[in-house]
């Protein structure tokens, strides 16, 4: 009887070990290899920022490990769709819809939002939209809310090589406003330039708001697990957002 009980316990322990190994996974998460603080940054090859802290905590709490794969934005989307990376952050169901068609893509409940809008000098906030004659944005960034007026010649679009140049052009009066991610620009002004309030967000002007999720190509079970974890850790997530100045 003792022998039978011992065998049963060993078998049960083996089953539990196998079960726990099935639950734990190494998640290959594709991330953007750009500086986009407070959301994310890549220093050397090290992924940093709000997303990193959030996902590391999720993985630790659920027994997973994570391999972050920093990639240029276009290649990241391509590798994700092809299944070379299993997850992607940031993502939105509207982005790259054509490439994602027919793929088994799932999205988490929104984690945060990207608000893309116009930053102006404090004295210019609230002026009529008709007074906006010229804007600047970082090269490669598309000012979707203003495309119709830009194409019609009603609004002049300038492009800069960096967020720093955008700030200088607006502050120097060379353009009326800068079309940027408001959270990123505010963080940059506050923490990099130490110039809080030099430019302010004019929420009376057109803007674009995108809900941001963690997405998966074929591993919807992990997305469900992530959603449940987010739901049961709301106060911790909110404190992390406060720490990183994330909307």
In this prediction, what percent of the chain has a pLDDT beyond 70?
91
Average pLDDT value for the chain: 92
pLDDT of 79: 97
| Average pLDDT rounded to a whole number, residues 9-33 | 67
Contact 117, 209 (CB under 8 A): no
- In the prediction, which pLDDT does 9 show? 59
Q: How many CA atoms are closer than 13 Å to the CA of 128, on its beta-carbon side?
A: 2
Conformation bin of residue 18: beta by default, left when phi > 0, alpha when psi is -120 to 50: alpha
pLDDT of amino acid 237: 98
pLDDT digits (tens, 9 = 90+) for 69-109: 999 998 999 999 999 999 999 999 999 999 999 999 999 99
20-24, 38-42, 130-134, 232-236: least confidently modelled range: 20-24
d(CA 83, CA 241): 30
Tell me how crowded residue 153 is: count the other CB atoms within 10 A of its CB: 7
pTM to 2 decimal places: 0.85
pLDDT digits (tens, 9 = 90+) for 43-66: 988 999 999 999 999 999 999 999
Q: Work out the average pLDDT over 147-172.
A: 96
């Amino acid at each position: 009887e003792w022998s039978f009980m011992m065998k049963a316990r060993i078998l049960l322990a083996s089953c539990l070990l196998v079960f726990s190994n099935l639950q734990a996974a190494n998640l290959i998460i594709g991330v953007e290899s750009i500086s986009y603080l407070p959301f994310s940054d890549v220093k050397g090859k090290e992924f940093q920022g709000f997303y990193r802290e959030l996902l590391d905590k999720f993985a630790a709490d659920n027994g997973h490990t994570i391999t972050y794969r920093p990639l240029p934005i276009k290649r990241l989307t391509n590798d994700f769709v092809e299944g070379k990376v299993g997850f992607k952050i940031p993502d939105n169901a509207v982005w790259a819809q054509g490439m994602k068609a027919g793929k088994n893509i799932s999205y988490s409940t929104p984690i945060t939002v990207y608000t893309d809008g116009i930053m102006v000098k404090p004295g210019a906030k609230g002026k009529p939209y008709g007074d906006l004659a010229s804007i600047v944005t970082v090269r490669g960034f598309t000012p979707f809310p203003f495309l119709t007026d830009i194409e019609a010649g009603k609004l002049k679009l300038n492009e800069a090589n960096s967020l720093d140049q955008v700030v200088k052009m607006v502050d120097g009066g060379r353009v009326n406003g800068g079309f940027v991610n408001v959270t990123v620009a505010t963080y940059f002004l506050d923490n990099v330039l130490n110039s809080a309030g030099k430019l302010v967000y004019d929420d009376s002007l057109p803007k674009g708001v995108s809900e941001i999720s963690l997405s998966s190509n074929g591993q919807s079970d992990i997305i469900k697990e992530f959603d449940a974890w987010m739901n049961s850790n709301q106060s911790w997530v909110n404190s992390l957002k406060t720490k990183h100045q994330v909307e």
